[in-house]
Amino acid sequence: MSFGPHLFLAVLEGTVTAFVLALTALGLSLVFGVMRIVNVAHGEFFMLGAVLAWYCSTLISGSPLLGFALALVVAPLLVGALALLTDWSVLKRVDYNPESTIVATIGLLYIVQQLVLTVFGPEARPVAAPVYFRVSFPWFGYSGYKLIVAGLSASLLLATWYALSRTRLGLYMRATQQDYEIAQAFGVPVRNVYATVFALGAMLAAVAGVLIVPVQQAHYLMGLDPLLLSFIVVIIGGLGSLKGTVVAAFVIGLSDGIVSVFFSPTLAKILATLLVAAVLVVRPGGLFGDNRA
């Protein structure tokens, strides 16, 4: 294959990665932005989404499409419920203290990982794509499912944007993010907002896991990479900024796709990390974050 089509393929791969990454990182960014806590277990919500998708696909073995549809409903609901339970049983108890939360979510990370290892096992398990067709370009054919992944992610990002900017809950989330004390003085039940945000963030990650599993296989350790990449995206994009998260996901996703195709995935990670350092030097609050000292 000559350079042009090769680059096109890399951009295509990068775009799909970017959309899924944006979805995963958005959950982290919301939690980080609104609640000011770092959820180290965010990647495990992603992994749980993928593992639950596998269970759904075995439950309905005849039709991959039905299994996929079931997973898209069941996985976010179960993972959201787990997040609510975590909020109530752990985060609330440590009063959302940033340091304690980091330690507590590290604990949650190991608990979830070991539970999945015990129940699901150490193997990587494939899930059949819900639809199988190839989009043929003049130079190569490309997985139609991956394009669907990009499309679904984009619609979810749009839906999140709509919810944040046009609904009462979204307004309350943004108000809480900016001044939680005064938000209470305007009738915002901030504890409920926190619980909702934590659950929503987890659900976004779970959906991303469901979407990715036909491409990547379900494995109990698969949460680490998306967690690290999400952190990079959130730091580059700026805390709690949806626009920043999407832009940064594309910068990271595309450069990762292109550099991985032409050079090596390791170099891609090195460049991404350098990029974080560079952004932090110039704009400590991230590209779209609050940069007032």
Partner 1 sequence: MLRVENIDCAYGKVQVLRGVSLTVAAGEIVGLLGRNGAGKTTTLKAIMGLVRPHAGRILFNDTTLSDLPAHEVPKQRVAYVPQGRRLFPSLSVRENLQMGLLVNDAGAETLAWVLELFPTLHERLRQRAGTLSGGEQQMLATGRALCTRPQLLLLDEPSEGLMPSLVDRLLDTVRGLREHQVGVLLVEQKVEAVLRVADRAVFMENGTVQHETGIDALKNDPTPLVRYVGVNR
Binding site for partner 1 (CB under 8 A): 168, 171, 174-175, 178-179, 181-190, 290
Taking the complex as a whole, the smallest distance from the CB of residue 279 to partner 1 amounts, in Å, to: 20
Beta carbon nearer to partner 1, 121 or 189 = 189
Rg (the chain; Cα; Å): 19
Beta carbon nearer to partner 1, 34 or 222 = 34
Taking the complex as a whole, the smallest distance from the CB of residue 240 to partner 1 amounts, in Å, to: 10
Taking the complex as a whole, the smallest distance from the CB of residue 250 to partner 1 amounts, in Å, to: 23
Which class for 225: exposed (0-12), middle (13-18), buried (19 or more C-beta within 10 A)?
A: middle
Beta carbon nearer to partner 1, 3 or 186 = 186
Beta carbon nearer to partner 1, 141 or 189 = 189
- Spatial distance between the Cα atoms of 29 and 46, rounded to a whole number of angstroms: 14
Which class for 147: exposed (0-12), middle (13-18), buried (19 or more C-beta within 10 A)?
A: middle
Beta carbon nearer to partner 1, 188 or 208 = 188
Taking the complex as a whole, the smallest distance from the CB of residue 191 to partner 1 amounts, in Å, to: 8
- Spatial distance between the Cα atoms of 40 and 293, rounded to a whole number of angstroms: 26
* Angle, vertex CA 231, rays to CA 55 and CA 125, nearest 5: 20
- Spatial distance between the Cα atoms of 35 and 94, rounded to a whole number of angstroms: 13
Taking the complex as a whole, the smallest distance from the CB of residue 21 to partner 1 amounts, in Å, to: 25
